[in-house]
Amino acid sequence: MTDDANRELLIQFHLEAGYIGHTFLDYKLAHEHLNAARKYTGLQIKLTGAMGKRTRFQSEDKAQLVLEVTREESGREEGTFTRTKIPKVLNLDDDTVLEAVSLTEPDIEYAVDMSPVEQAVVLATMEDHLRTHANQEKLTEEEASAHIQCILSQAKCWSVTLGCVYRRSCLEKGSRRRVERSMRQIEEIVNQRNSPDPPAIERLFLVYSVKIPPLWKLERQLAELLLSIGAIGSAVEVFERLRLWEDVITCYKRLGKMEKAESIIREQLAVQETPNLWCFLGDVTRDADHYIQAWEMSGQRHARSQRGLGYLYMAQEEYEKSIECFQKSLSINSLQVPVWFTYGCACLAAKRFQEAVKAFKRCVNIDSDNFEAWNNMASAYVQLKDKKKAFLTLKESIKCNYENWRIWENLLVVATDCGEFEEAIQAYHRLIDLKEKWTDVEVLRVLVQGVTGDYKDAQGNPGSRHQPRLLQLFGRITAKVVGESDIWRLYAELTNSAQNQTDETQQKVLQYLQKSQRCLTQQVNWEKSLDKCKHVGEQSLELADIYLAICDKKTSPQESLTMLQSAKMMLKSVQAKIKMAQLDPVTESLPEELSDLMDKLSSKLQVLISHINQLQK
């Protein structure tokens, strides 16, 4: 079998054996056979880089992935092969993405001229790489595209070319720009079944060496692609022709035709009862008895029935029942990521937080990029009063979805509670990036208290070390949100806590308090609310003190006089508005809650008048 006459037959044997290994998930055996096939061809196959463009509007060449195929010196080149008719290879026709990478140096040949059997080996090498590197999805797709482009650039054989365009369609079905070409290409392959050209003898050459799926699977994939782009009516026609009733039922459910779906289910149940059909009937009718029937029919070994029953109870807010169903389903099939997630949500709703943590942990162990599971796990930790773990969990959630403002908001709150001031400030900056005028006064108040009180952060560092970054954050916030009184007040408090107080610092504090006061007094009918009167009055007293402190340091009497007169007018205005709104016309007295405040305002006003009189002498 190793002589030249039988070498091609031996290569085909190893290719077919390799694909059988893939079918039975014996990847080690498959790799051995496919590697043996490559050795018999004498080909060296490797990925390399070349400069080129991928889009029409790309101005600079970038490094692109290409396949380099060389033949060993001892390798024996295949004999001549007459090119036969090949399936139609559809163009992409996209206004942005090029059909293939446009290389800077197109004259360089990266692949030797290959015979059909050698092309089949390259295709099998790609398939083996996809199977053994499934966890690197995006990278392996790029590598597979390089293999496919190499083969299509010298297409010769009907079956190898068909295998190539089929695998290209499988890769492209998840791409927004390429899914239409994927659908049209599969449709083109399906339509060739009745074509007399090329003859069967040419089509059958190497057909088992490239593992072309049977026609009904191709048609099913076409229907699934139609379904993915929203052509549900066309998809259901294909599914009905193939008698794939479960897919037909799914289509009618998506179309909202529940009566039609129920009719088909009952027709099929009359032919043969199966647990899946009973579950579909439960989905359509929302009747728990049908799921129970499926569960009993399967001998209590049908995960789908308990899953559907769990979802039904979850929708009805019967959380304890849904938890029990999810547990049964997961005990049979523990790799159901959506079920783990919903099980965790049910535990959260039922206040079984420890179980919720376990459920979400299993969820992220299977799918580490599930940011919602990370986020919900953090919520469970918060309920368990373990905020440190909640903080670390939210950090993982952020890695999975950097653009979700709700996760950043959760991280901000938890980081603040944990004393992670640096992380909280960073999270606040990110929230401003995502939502320009976003504010959380309570968080800012805690951060300001932590810094001004010099409380230790989570790392044991003094809070005052975070003052520069917090001042920078307030500067950014107030540049976008100018009408929030509490923010200006906190900004003034933070600025006033600086160790090295200067005239400029005091001037800034005064400016921020003035803006805070302006925001308060511009609120409609603030004087009619006792709480707001207290708030305005107390802040007015604080502002008057700042006026007095700055005036004491002023060298210019005229500047001091101007500032004190402004303070006097401010206090008089506040007093007048409170009296007008709160004075009882019968007793001519103010509410008890305000009497002490009004006395303080009057006293402070007298102090200001006294200072003004001294300056005017």
pLDDT in tens, 556-607: 788 888 888 888 898 899 888 888 888 877 777 888 888 888 888 888 889 8
Residue 60 has a pLDDT of 83
β-sheet bridge partners, residue 66: 48
> Considering only CA atoms, which of 196, 210, 277 is closest in space to residue 11?
210
- d(Cα 263, Cα 269) in Å, to the nearest integer? 10
Residue bearing tokens 């400030």: 425
> Considering only CA atoms, which of 122, 165, 171 is closest in space to residue 147?
122
- d(Cα 86, Cα 63) in Å, to the nearest integer? 31
- b/e burial code for range 407-439 (CB count within 10 A of at least 16 → b): bbbbbbbbbbbbbbbbbbbbbbbbbbeeeeebb
Residue 137 has a pLDDT of 60
Query: Residue 359: in which H helix or E strand, if any?
Result: helix 353-366
- d(Cα 356, Cα 358) in Å, to the nearest integer? 5
Prediction pTM value: 0.75
- d(Cα 120, Cα 139) in Å, to the nearest integer? 22
Q: What is the domain partition of the chain in residue ranges?
A: 1-212, 421-512, 523-617
Residue 3 has a pLDDT of 55
Between the alpha carbon of residue 598 and those of residues 346, 582, 589, the distances in Å are: 55, 11, 11
Q: What phi and psi, each to the nearest 5 degrees, are found at residue 97?
A: -80, 135
Residue 392 has a pLDDT of 95
Residue bearing tokens 């802040």: 539
Residue 279 has a pLDDT of 92
- d(Cα 221, Cα 167) in Å, to the nearest integer? 12
Residue 82 has a pLDDT of 63
Residue 138 has a pLDDT of 62
* Residues whose CB is less than 8 angstroms from the CB of residue 295 and which lie 6 or more positions away in sequence, other chains included: 275, 302, 305, 306, 309
Q: What phi and psi, each to the nearest 5 degrees, are found at residue 398?
A: -60, -35
Residue 105 has a pLDDT of 80
Residue 7 has a pLDDT of 86
Task: Give the rounded distance of the alpha carbon of 162 from its chain centre.
Answer: 36
Rounded (10°) angle between helices 441-452 and 421-434 = 150
Outline where DSSP puts E strands in 157-272.
none
Per-run averaged pLDDT (10 residues), the chain, 617 residues:
71 93 90 91 88 82 86 59 77 79 80 90 90 67 86 89 90 84 88 80 88 89 89 90 88 88 90 91 92 94 94 94 96 94 96 96 92 95 94 94 93 94 95 91 94 90 91 93 90 84 83 89 87 89 86 78 88 88 78 85 88 80
* Residues whose CB is less than 8 angstroms from the CB of residue 552 and which lie 6 or more positions away in sequence, other chains included: none
β-sheet bridge partners, residue 70: 44
- d(Cα 484, Cα 518) in Å, to the nearest integer? 10
- d(Cα 91, Cα 177) in Å, to the nearest integer? 12
> Considering only CA atoms, which of 568, 475, 578 is closest in space to residue 526?
578
pLDDT in tens, 341-375: 999 999 999 999 999 999 999 999 998 889 999 99
